[in-house]
Amino acid sequence: MTIAAQGSRLEAIPRPASVLQRNVNLLRELAVTQFKLKYTGSALGYVWSLVKPAMLFGIMYAVFSVLLRAGSSTPDFTVQLLFAIVIWTFFTESTVVAVNSVVASANLIRKAYFPRWIIVVASILTALMTFLINAALIIVITVPLGSMHLGLRSLAAPLLLVELLMLIIGLSLLLSSLFVYYRDVGHIWEICTLVLFYGSAIVYPFVLFQQHHVAVIAGLNPLAQIVEDLRHALVTPGAPWTMTLLGGLYAVPVLLSVGVFVLGFYVFHRLTPRFAENL
């Protein structure tokens, strides 16, 4: 159909028939826009997303590796630390931004109809783009140096990333919807990330948990399990899978990730209808 007014003409555009296609389209537009906005306007632009994890890596390397000699008995600890810091940065940036995402999009939610989870997942996708670029850079640098040890076990890496994404999406949906009603959630989550940072064997090797039962308890934390298994899959073939350590309890961190994913969608779905009037 053509719309004509005051001499100019416009062809009306039909919406795609499939709702999925509309949602994917909106998801992509929001994620790409956020990514662009995050890195335009500053002089160094995208470089900042590299500088921040690089600084964190430098500081953690100086403190834990040089001063405390945390990884002296672990081969490849430097590369392990680098990997863990990049995974950690993705985890914390995506969740912290996502928790606030629904409230930050209050105007959009009050004035337009679309599935609300798109906002949360778009903000995670923005962080994922940064993560993928950083990870690609590390691989490009470390593979020629011979610091990465790839093999059949590396095929587990994509599965572990899926587990990480489920954990992140679940947590983000859960926390962002609760944040609409309880603003304390933002602060509580910041404290939790600090606990997770030091409790998930990010800045020290997992073998530092010397007592068996302490190691088992630490391994039940999905983030510790994901980081440790990714290290094994990509960097240090000598270190065991957490499955070897946990045995049947290996189901706990995996089920926790899946459980958080399901719970996140459930809580978000239950709270969504009243977002518009509570924002």
Partner 1 sequence: MSVAIHAKGLNKCFRVPLDRSTTLKYRVTHLRSASRYRDFYALRDVSFDVPEGQFLGITGPNGCGKSTLLKILARILRPDSGEVAVNGEVSSFLELGVGFNPELTARENVFLAGAVLGLSRAQLARQINAIMHFADLAEFADAKLKNYSSGMQVRLAFTVAITASAEILLMDEVLAVGDARFQDKCFEVFSQFKRDGKTIVLVSHDLGILERYCDRLLLLYHGQVLDDGPPARVTSHYRSIVAEEEAAEGGAAVAAAAVLGA
Of 151, 150, 147, the closest CA to residue 138 belongs to: 147
Of 124, 102, 150, 112, the closest CA to residue 35 belongs to: 124
Contact status: 244 vs partner 1 (CB under 8 A): no
Q: In the set 111, 140, 144, 152, which binds partner 1 (CB under 8 A)?
A: 111
- Distance between CA atoms of 98 and 138, rounded to whole angstroms? 25
Q: In the set 183, 194, 251, 255, which binds partner 1 (CB under 8 A)?
A: 183
Shortest Å, Cβ 52 to partner 1: 21
**Which residues sit opposite 4 in a β-bridge?**
9
Q: In the set 20, 43, 67, 107, which binds partner 1 (CB under 8 A)?
A: 107
**Which listed range, 88-96, 106-114, 163-171, 197-205, lies at the site for partner 1 (CB under 8 A)?**
106-114
Q: In the set 143, 184, 195, 214, which binds partner 1 (CB under 8 A)?
A: 184
Nearer to partner 1, 115 or 240 (CB): 115
Of residues 1-30, those binding partner 1 (CB under 8 A) = 1, 3-6, 8-16, 21-22, 25-26, 28-30
Contact status: 46 vs partner 1 (CB under 8 A): no
Contacts of 271 (CB under 8 A, 6+ apart): 177, 178, 180, 181
Burial 116-135 (b: 16+ CB within 10 A, else e): bbbbbbbbbbbbbebbeebb
Shortest Å, Cβ 184 to partner 1: 4
Q: In the set 39, 46, 114, 265, which binds partner 1 (CB under 8 A)?
A: 114
Contact status: 43 vs partner 1 (CB under 8 A): no
Plot region of 112 (φ>0 → left; ψ -120 to 50 → alpha; else → beta): beta
- Distance between CA atoms of 207 and 221, rounded to whole angstroms? 15
